[in-house]
């Protein structure tokens, strides 16, 4: 079932969660169903643009705040231009004008298994890397923006992604948007 934004209004949806929670997958599905721009500019894209590995960007970001600021500033600027789904670690905190803020979460084990399925590797190494990355992300967000990314209780929706597949999660979000009067079903 597809939906459309009511009366040509603008709609901005912010979706956040830690690595392996399904942010990119759910954000992509939602943007496709609504026919709006997906904004998912991350360290991964920045690494590709700079000709670096993701691990190099993460390492550089430990001592150079410009990496975080570049990513965060660019995605918010893009999101303010048009109706969109902004999927990023900090979307629900950074895009204050979002019409709906959704936080996706999953246990560390679920997240590690998803990352393993997506990228391959060793499950224990993935768990270790993901734990290190989570810790470093949290420290940077507190330092740069005074944001605690473990405090997401203010989100409009909090969804345990282990309980639903990505399609079901997108449908839950669309149902909420319809209840709030932002979207209507289309053919």
Whether pLDDT at 12 is above 70 = yes
Tally the residues of the chain. 187
Q: Coil, helix or strand for 12? A: strand
pLDDT at 26: 96
6 vs 16, higher pLDDT? 16
pTM: 0.89
| 120, pLDDT greater than 70 | yes
Query: In whole angstroms, how far apart are CA 113 and each of 17, 99, 118, 119, 171?
Result: 16, 32, 9, 10, 24
Beta partners for residue 87, in sequence order: 15
| Average pLDDT of span 57-86 | 92
Whole-number pLDDT of residue 187: 67
Taking CA atoms, 59 is separated from 47, 114, 133, in Å, by 11, 23, 10
The rounded distance, in Å, linking the Cα atoms of 84 and 14 is: 9
């Amino acid at each position: 079932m597809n939906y459309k934004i009511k009366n040509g209004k603008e709609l901005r949806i912010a979706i956040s969660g830690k690595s392996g929670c399904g942010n990119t997958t759910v954000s992509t599905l939602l943007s496709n169903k609504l026919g709006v721009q997906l904004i998912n500019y991350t360290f991964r894209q920045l690494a590709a643009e700079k000709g670096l590995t993701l691990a190099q960007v993460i390492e550089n970001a430990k001592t150079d705040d410009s990496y975080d600021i570049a990513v965060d500033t660019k995605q918010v600027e893009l999101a303010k231009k048009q109706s969109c789904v902004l999927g990023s670690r900090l979307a629900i905190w950074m895009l204050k004008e979002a019409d709906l803020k959704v936080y996706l979460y999953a246990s560390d084990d679920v997240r590690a298994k998803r990352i393993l399925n997506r990228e391959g590797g060793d499950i224990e190494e993935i768990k270790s890397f993901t734990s290190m990355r989570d810790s470093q992300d949290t420290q940077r967000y507190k330092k740069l923006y005074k944001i605690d990314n473990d405090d997401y209780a203010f989100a409009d929706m909090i969804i345990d992604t282990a309980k639903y597949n990505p399609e079901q999660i997108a449908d839950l979000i669309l149902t909420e948007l319809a209840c709030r009067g932002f979207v209507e079903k289309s053919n």
